[in-house]
Every structure is written in C-alpha cells, then in structure tokens.
Amino acid sequence: MRENFLVVENVSKSFGGVKAISNVSFSLSGNSLLGIIGPNGAGKTTLINIITGFIKPDSGRVIFKGDDITGLPGYKIAEKGIARTFQIVRPFLHLPAYKNLIIPLYSKRVKSFRGGRFGDRDTVAIDLLEEVGFERDSSVPYKSASSLPHGYLKRLELARCLALQPELLILDELFSGMSMSEVAATVPIIEKLKAEGLTLIMIEHRLRELFRIADKVIVLNFGEKIAEGKPSEVIENELVKVAYLGAESA
C-alpha cells in the first residue's frame, strides 16, 4: 500500500451562511477502501465535489499522488484518474446504454492509454457493461438509457467510471435505490476492483454492506469530521451514535 495516495488538508466550504464543510482533513493510502458516512446534509457530497473539481473550496488543499489538484477544472482531475459517480444518476438519456460509455472512452486519458485511436469503442463498451452485470447477449445494452430501470442506471454509472480506467474511484451512494439482490451482486464487483489495485471512496447509507468491505471510515456531521477509524472502532464511537440516533439517546 502506498501512503498518501490522496491527501485532503483543512478543506472548508460554505454556501451563504451554511458551513457545508469545515476544516476537514484525511488521507488515504493506495489500494484501500474508505467509507464516508454521516446523516443527510452532513456535507459528504460537497466533499466529493471539492475533490473532483466541481466546487472550489474556500480554503484547504487536495493532493493526489503528490500533485496539488485543488481548484483544477473537473475534466483535468478526471484525466488524472479520479472517476466519480453522481448521487442523482442522470445518464445520457438520448443514447443507448452502451453509447453512454463512448464519452469516457473518447476522453484524452483513455485515448492515450491505448496508444492513440483504438478501433472499436462499441465493443469495449459492451465488455464493460458485462463487467457490471448487463446481460451480454440480451438487448439490454442496446436499449435507450431512458428505458432502463434504476438499478441498471446505477450500474451504468459505475461502468461509465470504469471506462475511464481510473486510479481512484469515488462512489456517491451507489447502493441507494438498488434492490437487495442488486446490492448483493454489486459488492463482489467492488471487491474485485479493489483486488485489481483500485483505490475507492464510498459514501453510503447502507452501513452493514459498507462496514464489511471498508478499510477505514470517516464520519461527517454538520460539515465536520467527528470520527475516523476502522469500521469496528467507528461503530463503538459515542459521537457517531449521537449523530446517527439523535440527541435523546445520548
């Protein structure tokens, strides 16, 4: 494991009066899986938006593999190998599912990987969809994205990220809206990706599944990091119990 694969240093961001993220720091070593949890509105998505260049932080730095990437435009950060899913999936509805993957496959990052232009992006796209559980020989990959059920859209979003051949993959509530069986089918995919050397950050409300696969968990509440540690330690933390169960149980 490589230390300091991703370092977030004293990052803060407020929207108007709301402190969405205040002074959050953490670091992540290579080929590990970090879970980020916290109640609704805790600032989890905002933190991801800062890391991936969709929001500029008011202060603080983000360092990826030794490079300061704070405030770089989103596409540059993606080019460096950080892929993310969106909490609210909005696929490219006009396009068939497999054509959704043409976009990352057409990016500079992937083009340069294959040594310039590579022949048939469509085939690569179908392969990737199979990897996330689309039935290869069915018509599902060719259907318009607007006609797919929610669980498929979530996995399509995952495939869009994988197409970028990322080094760091950030999943914002991938499991929400998936059925139990879809979650059960997706967990092994994530474990396989990690076994292949990928580093992951997962935001999840489904703690049971997350705690089974995470190496480390950080807990956000009202924009502040209130706990950090191994899943087993975080479960026992009093502050976390209060944040999750409400003040009366304290």
Does position 20 bind ligand ATP by CB under 6 A? yes
35 makes contact with ligand ATP (CB under 6 A): no
The only residue of 9, 79, 127, 228 in contact with other proteins, by rule CB under 8 A? 79
Q: Which residues contact 80 (CB under 8 A, 6 or more apart)?
A: 64, 65, 67, 69
Q: What is the tally of helices (H) and strands (E) in the chain?
A: 10, 10
Find where tokens 């796209």 sit: 125
Answer yes or no whether residue 26 interacts with other proteins by CB under 8 A. Answer: no
Q: Which is nearer to other proteins, 26 or 54 (CB)?
A: 54
Which entry of other proteins, ligand ATP, Mg ion, none binds 56, CB below 5 to 8 A by partner kind? none
Least distance in angstroms from the C-beta of 39 to Mg ion: 11
Does residue number 177 form part of the binding site for other proteins (CB under 8 A)? no
Q: What is the DSSP letter of 97?
A: G
Copy the structure tokens of residue 217. 């968990």
In angstroms, the CA 186 to CA 174 distance is: 9
Residue ranges in 90-109 that form contacts with other proteins under rule CB under 8 A: 90-96, 99-100, 102-109
Residue 74 binding partner per list other proteins, ligand ATP, Mg ion, none, with a CB distance cut-off of 5 to 8 Å that depends on partner kind: other proteins
Measured between alpha carbons, how far is residue 32 from residues 35, 166, 177, 245 in Å? Answer: 10, 14, 25, 28
Q: Choose which of 12, 23, 29, 87 interacts with ligand ATP (CB under 6 A).
A: 87
216 is an interface residue for other proteins by CB under 8 A: no
> Which CB sits closer to other proteins, 150 or 230?
150
- For residues 177-211, one letter each, b for 16 or more C-beta atoms within 10 angstroms of the residue's C-beta and e for the rest, the string is ebeeebbeebeebbeebbeeebbbbbbbebbebbb
